[in-house]
Amino acid sequence: MTSEIRTMIEPKDIKAIELECGKCHASTRRQIDNWLQDSSSCPNCGDVWLHINSPELNEIKTLVMLIRGLATRTSNKHLPFNIRFDISGTVSEKRTGNE
């Protein structure tokens, strides 16, 4: 028999996104519900991460808006189904019938 353990989260479970500077490794958390759209540079060393109108920063903003919207829609039952994300790093173990 094979047994599998999975970690699933719903959009409403995502509360923040952590950003870590590639230069100084300082990290900062940005809350999903009040994203300030100010994540273009490191708050510690000032290294510029992204330019204000860069496609990458726009993608992050879009991701935040999508998570926020899905959390609202699934919490308010506006969708006839639930959405969950499968998180990597879960453990699978294989068992035989003799154990």
Please state which of the ranges 29-33, 72-76, 90-94 shows the lowest mean pLDDT: 90-94
Q: What is the pLDDT of residue 20?
A: 95
Supply the DSSP string of 48-66, one letter for each residue.
B-S-TT-HHHHHHHHHHHH
What is the token pair recorded at 10?
């719903």
- Write the pLDDT tens digit of every residue in 26-64: 999 989 888 766 678 899 999 998 888 889 888 988 999
What number of CA atoms fall less than 13 Å from residue 35's CA on the CB side?
A: 21
pLDDT at 10: 93
